[in-house]
Structures are given as C-alpha cells and as structure tokens.
Amino acid sequence: MPLVTTTEMFKKAYDGGYAVGAFNVNNMEIVQGITEAAGELKSPVILQVSKGARAYANHTYLVKLVEAAVIENPEIPIALHLDHGDSFELCKSCIDGGFTSVMIDASSKSFEDNIALTKQVVEYAHAHGVVVEAELGTLAGIEDEVVVEAGHESYTRPEEVEEFVSRTGCDSLAIAIGTSHGAYKFTAAQCTRNEEGILVPPPLRFDVLEECMKKLPGFPIVLHGSSSVPQEFVKMVNQYGGNMPDAVGIPEEQLRKAATLAVCKINIDSDIRLAMTGNIRKYFAEHPDHFDPRQYLKPARQAVKDMVAHKIQYVLGSDGKA
C-alpha cells in the first residue's frame, strides 16, 4: 500500500486501546531497523523527520528511503510525518514534498498565536490531503531549539484543549503530562533512587490526560518525549567509553497505560540513538582493527530493530494491527 495519513491508524488505535509508534529517522539503517520490526510484527508505524534530520540527510534522501521501506513492506501502513515543524514554510515544504502528516509546534507561542499558526497550516494541509498534529503545553528538554529546564515545563491546561482543537481544526494534539525530550528527562532532585541507585522518575500526570480526554472524547492524543532510556543501553555506552550518568526515561508501564487511553501516537527518538551508540561503542571496543562501516552499522541496525520490536509488542500494543 502507498504511504498513508494517520487518520485511519489513529481511529483503530483509539478504539483498540493501543498506540502507534512514531520513530525518528535520520539515515538508512534507522529506516530499515524500524520498518523491518514493524513489517515482521504486522504493525502500523509512523516514520518522522525533524527539521534537524532534514538538515542532516536532505529531504529527498529521507523521502526516498521511506518510499523504499514502503515498497519493501507492502502489508503495513506507514505514515511519513514532519516532527516539530516550527513554521508555515517548513510545513508547506513537507506537504508539497510527499509527507502525509505534519506537526506544527507553536506551543512556545501565546495561545492565540498558537491557534493562528496552527490554523494556517491546517488549512493548507487539509487542502492537500495531509493531516496536522498540534501541541498545547510545554515539555521540558529541547523543542524547536528552545531549551526548557526540567521544572520549568508547563502541563497542558485541559480547559483550553476543546477551544484549541475546534478553532484550529487540527487532527491530533500533543499534550504535556510530564514527559520530556532527550536522554536526561529528569534531574536527580526530581527523582527518587531504587536499590540499585538508578533514578526513578516522578509519575506522569494521568489526571491531566484524563481531563483532556473528557474534553475531547474520541480525539487522538500524542505523547512526545516518550523514550524509556533503557538502562541496558546506558550501561553499554558507559562500559565502552561513554559517559552518560543519570540518564533516565519514562517507565514503559506508564507508556503502556497511556496507550490504552486516548494516546494514539508515542514518539521515540532517544532510544534509537542509545541503541545505536551503545552497540557501535561495543563493536569498536571489541574489534579495534575493523574499519568497514557495514561491520559496525549492522549490529546497530539490528539493535534498532530489536528495540522497536520490543516497543511494538510490550509498550505500544500495535503488533498484528496492520
């Protein structure tokens, strides 16, 4: 099947109590690792491209890599999505250039300015058969190159979501309930420590999610910043010459719970980075004489595939839903 929008995916996910994974893609090995896992598990999947990914790999290369994945995996629905679009021009360029979904992230603007920009993107996107994700509330971490310190994030205000969605016409809404971008989602001061000394983060604000769901029945909600930062990868990075103290993510069981509620799209990027970096570091340490990139990119790609397969089966619940 050709690239799809997320409309049908989200309806089935909402009704079925699961979520679709949205994984960031930056190169061929990442596209292959994700889509091989989704293909084998018969799972729908969203491949998302950030402004930084476009700057790194070039729009055309990324679109063509995704188109190749669609040809190689004809039985699963794949959507191509712009992650954190920060201007009308960037969204338009992706809409004109083959994407089936775009995010306009005007969450750092005022409520009225967020509505105005989101509405402008929605009008253009819908006229071209493309769907739009918008955002209300601010996640900690780095978004649109705006750095928000942990503790300075602002949760989505449920009393605003209905007006926002009806005035903009957006198709899905990213909300802030305590997730954040990157591999250091919480400061040590925000966490407790378990018996192994690993940081345990504060729980997500399910009360905020449930209030938003009441205001927007049946409407797909998106969670950004949803990497779990698996400690096996953090250990691997640290064991083989890296230095990532106190890297911590969102516990998988909380994401699983969100997926059974209105959350239809769960964004994962940092876990891909960790899977690749941990395995490449290990490979270099164990094979200091090797220098063929295929040798170390192969286990890195396999690690992405294994990690995505785990998410599909045990976090998202999207296996067999293609």
Nearer to ligand 13P, 76 or 266 (CB): 266
- The piece of 36-44, 49-57, 150-158, 198-206 that touches ligand G3H (CB under 6 A) is 49-57
- Residue 248 Cα distances to 142, 233, 274, angstroms: 15, 11, 12
Our finding on whether 270 is near ligand 13P (CB under 6 A) is yes
Residue 39 neighbours by CB under 8 Å, 6+ apart: 72, 73, 75, 76
Known catalytic residues are: 83
- Residue 180 Cα distances to 48, 49, 171, 228, 250, angstroms: 17, 18, 22, 11, 9
CB of residue 227 to ligand G3H, shortest distance in Å:
8
| 226: partner contacted, choices Zn ion, ligand 13P, ligand G3H, none (Cβ within 5-8 A by kind) | ligand 13P
Q: What x/- string results for residues 18 through 57 when contact with ligand 13P is judged by CB under 6 A?
A: ------x---------------------------------
Conformational region of residue 154, where left means phi above 0, alpha means psi within -120 to 50, and beta covers everything else: beta
Q: Are 4 and 129 in contact (CB under 8 A)?
A: no
The two tokens of residue 122 are 């929605």
Residue 199 neighbours by CB under 8 Å, 6+ apart: 186, 188, 191, 192, 193, 246, 248
Nearer to ligand 13P, 16 or 182 (CB): 182
**Residues in region 196-225 near Zn ion by CB under 5 A:** 224
Our finding on whether 107 is near ligand G3H (CB under 6 A) is no
Residue 307 neighbours by CB under 8 Å, 6+ apart: 230, 271, 272, 275
| 77: partner contacted, choices ligand G3H, ligand 13P, Zn ion, none (Cβ within 5-8 A by kind) | none
Nearer to ligand G3H, 83 or 153 (CB): 83
Number of residues that bind ligand 13P (CB under 6 A): 14
CB of residue 47 to ligand 13P, shortest distance in Å:
12
**Residues in region 240-279 near ligand G3H by CB under 6 A:** 269
Q: How far is residue 296's CA from residue 317's CA, in Å, rounded to a whole number?
A: 30
Binding site for Zn ion (CB under 5 A): 224
